[in-house]
Structure 1
Amino acid sequence: MTHRFTDLELLWTVPYGRAAGVGDLTARPPGTLRSAVEDAVLPALHRPPCVVSFSGGRDSSTVLAVATALARREGLALPVPVTNTFPAVPASHEGRWQELVVRHLDLPEWTRLEFTDELDVAGPVARDTLRRLGVRAPFNLHFHAPIAALAAGGSLLTGVGGDELFSPVARLTPYRLLSRRWDVNRRTVRDAALDLAPRPLRVRRSSRRIDLPYGWVRPAALRRLRTDLARLDATEPLSWERAVRRRVWPGRRLQMHREGLDRLGALHGVAVENPFCAPGVLATTATAWGRPGPRGRTRELRAQFGDLLPADLLERSTKSSFNAAFWAGPAREWARGWSGDGLGGDLADLVDVEGLHQEWSGAEPDPHSFSLLHTALLASLTRSAPQR
């Protein structure tokens, strides 16, 4: 089934709510996060070349480490890490971490691709992806296109899904108190009481907390979006396990991200696997971690994969940023000449074009506006395409 953005989602680039036609995760497989990730990785190793989208962050490093250990154990070809590099974007530089991981895993092959503005959100790779797949989630789907091309006919592993796996629910203070994960004090008791408050009170509380600083969205549309998100927030399950089964897996965000990567891979005959958001991994951890959920990302990664990766890597708290690489020139030039058309009638009524121009005139615009840019850009590409 194809999942498309709603107009309200396009306003801030993030899908939300439940995906149509996707059921809850009901399986209760035994095992651990480690064994479930291995099960998700193994089919990719059986379809060489197996390429890993490797940034040097904890999630992609873990996937690479599992794939490497599994390949050696099973006598299969080693996976090849592929890294997109941007010398002109200091915030993206992860060379120290990347080299630490590749050296630790003793991998003989590592491909580094160097880019200037090619992966800009209006650059040549993004334009080609838009023409072939339309406006998709995530907005930076095209980031994986050069990597998928290197895996043609084989498989691609990514670290996508770590955030969904380790933090799918915030409303679980009561269970963490009951399981003695957290100390009982004034703050945790207050948080537990708020988590257990009647739904109308939680909706009002969420509505006050939700910050949507999007000057390109008209006030009425912003109110609709805030109301939607507050209601969604207020219906969040108390249990981490239930949240994974009934909210994360069937969620539009996860399903649209998986679908986008699958379709990108299909352009190159590549099977894409995202182990951290694979149904088997989510179901296994839902069973293993239960209502209180994981004991923290660092602790779980160290417990499950500590023998595969350097301790410094597993305990790092920093992350790279590629935002400047997505606004590296082509998008700025295109936005400067944009007349405000290409959004379509209903969507155009929700957008403040002047506010969008103002956002895009900045040095590093908010990426939450980029699906609108892709919508308008695709319309202009369609109009300029030669007629057959």
Structure 2
Amino acid sequence: MTDVPQPRPTARDVACGIVLGLDPAAPPWPRPGASPTAGPDAQPAPLVALERAVLPALCRPPCLVSFSGGVDSSLVLAIAARVARREGLPDPVPVTWRFTDAPRAEESPWQHRVIDELGLGRQWQILQAGEDLDLVGPVAARLLDRYGPLHPPNRHLHLPIVELAQGGALLTGVGGDQILAGWRRRPGSMRARLGRLRSRLRAGVRHREPDPFPWLHPQAAREVRRAFLAEQRAEPHRLAERIGWHLRRRDLTLTRASLAAIATDHDVLTVTPLLDDGFAAALAAHQGHLRSPSRRELLASIADAELPPLVVAPRRKATFDEVFFRAATREFLRSWHGTGVDESLVDVAALRREWSGWPVNPRTAALVQHAWLAARPVPTPRPPSAP
């Protein structure tokens, strides 16, 4: 197993549940060898760049694809299947989690439609999870005992998939939420916003946003809110700059590093095509002039009528809080003694109130794991066996 130092979330990242800021160690954008400013004629089409990005994984079978049925994983799976068949390589193996008692995470209708469209039913592997993937459940416990807390807190979701890929490769759709969408919401029209303001004034209601971090000390909460708003404002509108900005954010640095650490321990090559430098450069060269393009626009441009329309069709985005906040977390929070959190940032009494109800705020997921690890008995070393 690797002992390479693992990038870790800071105390503030853990306390507020958001990783903010740019990674000072991230290479500058554009990356060496990538020239998105050279113009579209000097770069392949984004679809071609994605095909090149998935090829190393396909050349190291078994090549598994973490497939949820969402747009990003469907795009990666479709491209992998297309390249494998063109190059005479084994088909990629889609691997999908199915969850009990988590209706908002339900994506099986889209999963079946995509799998049928791509003709990958025989390769498809479906993993079943009930309580297994709780934040402090059996799968998370294996990961936390080995690596300590990682970002994101739901990283253990990929541990069984990586184990299945032992000696091969794993493709994921990580990065789609940033490179293809970002987090900026298109504001409503000025007329609509003024109308809402007039309605509140007529009703005598003063609009006040709820505190997004009620478990933090007031000063810490104010600092985090200011940093969060500043980062939202800093996200560029123009796509080329936005891509480069996201590729240097600490959030993605930690996300990629945690998956790579687990994969390395299992001799698995991990490839995240949507974060590939070649794809980023191609997308910036061909579409980088656009300002705040929608995900639908970018996906249609990338597919370029070469992929089945179903693959990039809009769909409801699933949420997975019900998967990770289960009985094990609830039981631990009931018995929590107030230890294992940074009390210079976290108001223990306020956090206890936050955790007294159900469901709890998903932004406290990292705090749950830190507190659970602090309360976990240190394993007793086993005595050497007798000769």
- TM bucket normalised to smaller: 0.7 to 0.9
Alignment match, 2:223: 224
CA shift, 1:296, in A, is 2.2
Task: Specify whether residues 79 and 95 from structure 1 end up closer, same or farther in structure 2 by C-alpha distance, changes over 3 A only.
Answer: same
CA 1:235/1:82 → structure 2, altered by over 3 Å: closer, same or farther?
closer
Matched, 1:377 2:377: no
Q: TM-score, normalised by structure 2?
A: 0.84
For 2:202, the equivalent position in structure 1 comes to none
Q: Is 1:166–2:180 an aligned residue pair? A: yes
In structure 1, the partner of 2:139 is 125
* Aligned position for 1:180: none
Report how far residue 366 of structure 1 moved: 1.7
Deviation at 1:40, TM superposition (A): 1.3
CA RMSD of aligned residues (A): 2.6
Partner amino acid, structure 2, of 1:282: A
Q: Does 1:386 align with 2:385?
A: no
Contact 1:171–1:237 at 8 Å: present in 2 too?
Answer: no
Query: Partners of 1:304 and 1:238 in 2: how far apart?
Result: 19
The one of 23, 30, 33 equivalent to 2:27 is 23
Q: Give yes or no for contact 1:171–1:236 (8 Å, CA) kept in 2.
A: no
Q: 1:290 aligns with which of 275, 280, 288?
A: 288
User: Which consecutive unaligned segments of at least 5 residues does structure 2 have?
Assistant: 37-42, 195-206, 383-387
Counterparts of 2:84 and 2:128 in 1: how far apart (Å)?
28
- How far residue 209 of structure 1 moved from its aligned partner, in angstroms, is 10
Report the alpha carbon displacement of residue 313 of structure 1 after superposing the two structures with TM: 4.8
Q: Which residue of 2 aligns with 1:33?
A: 46
Change (3 A) 1:124 1:287: same
**Shift of residue 233, structure 1, vs aligned partner:** 3.5
Cα distance in 2 for partners of 1:9, 1:332 equals 22
1:244 is the counterpart of 2:251: no
- Structure 1 alignment gaps of length 5 or more: 174-184, 191-207
Check conservation: 2:175, 2:275, Cα contact below 8 A: yes
Whether the aligned pair in 1 keeps the contact of 2:16 and 2:224 (CA below 8 Å) is no
Instruction: Assess, with a 3 A threshold, how the Cα gap between structure 1 residues 294 and 102 changes in structure 2: closer, same or farther.
Output: farther
1:4 is aligned to 2:8:
yes
| Aligned match of 1:49 | 62
Q: Could you list the per-position Cα deviations for residues 87-119 of structure 1 after superposition, in whole angstroms to 9, with x for gaps in the alignment?
A: 221222211111111111111211001111110
* Shift in Å, 1:187: 6.7
Percent identity between matched residues is: 36
Counterpart secondary structure, 1:132: helix
Match of 1:64 in 2: 77
Q: Name the counterpart of 2:338.
A: 340
**Contact map agreement 1:40 1:275 (CA 8 A) in 2:** yes
Structure 1 residues 90 and 167: CA distance shift in structure 2, 3 A: closer
Name which of 94, 97, 109 aligns with 1:84.
97
Distance in 2 between residues matched to 1:103 and 1:225, nearest whole Å: 45
1:141 to 150, 155, 176: 155
Q: Which moved more, 1:93-102 or 1:277-286?
A: 277-286
C-alpha displacement at 1:297, in angstroms? 1.5
Is the Cα–Cα contact under 8 Å of residues 332 and 361 in structure 1 kept in the other structure? Answer: no
Distance 1:186 1:146 in 2: 48
| 2:214 corresponds to | 215
User: 1:354 is paired with a residue of what secondary structure?
Assistant: helix
* Contact map agreement 2:162 2:170 (CA 8 A) in 1: yes
1:387 Cα shift? 4.1
Structure 2 contact 72–173 (Cα < 8 Å) conserved:
yes
Distance 2:258 2:232 in 1: 25
Q: SS of 2:332's equivalent?
A: helix
Pair 1:37–1:110, CA change in 2 (3 A): same
Equivalent position to 1:281, from 279, 282, 299: 279
Distance 2:289 2:191 in 1: 21
Within 2, Cα distance between the matches of 1:355 and 1:142?
Answer: 28
Aligned position for 1:94: 107
CA deviation profile, 1:66-92 (whole Å, cap 9, x unmatched): 000100000001100000111221222
Residues in 1 aligned to 2:176 and 2:49: alpha-carbon distance in whole angstroms: 14
- How far has the Cα of 1:48 moved from its partner? 0.8
Q: Deviations over 1:126-176 (max 9, x none)?
A: 111111122111111001111111101111111111111123374999xxx
Equivalent pair of 2:58/2:84 in contact (CA under 8 Å): yes
Q: Which amino acid in structure 2 is aligned with residue 298 of structure 1?
A: R
Aligned to 1:203: none
1:121/1:140 contact within 8 Å kept: yes
Specify the code of the residue in structure 1 equivalent to 2:301. Answer: A
Deviations along 1:233-255, one digit per CA (max 9) or x if unpaired, are: 4444453312322x211110111
Q: Which amino acid aligns with 1:361?
A: S
Contact 2:172 2:271 in 1 (8 A): yes
Structure-2 change in CA distance of 1:235 and 1:81 (3 Å): closer
For 1:112, the aligned partner's letter is: I
3-state secondary structure, aligned to 1:349: coil
Tell me if structure 1 keeps the 8 A contact 2:99–2:105: yes
Equivalent position SS for 2:114: helix
Match of 2:302 in 1: 304
The letter for the 2-side match of 1:285 is L
Q: Distance in 1 between matches of 2:238 and 2:294?
A: 16
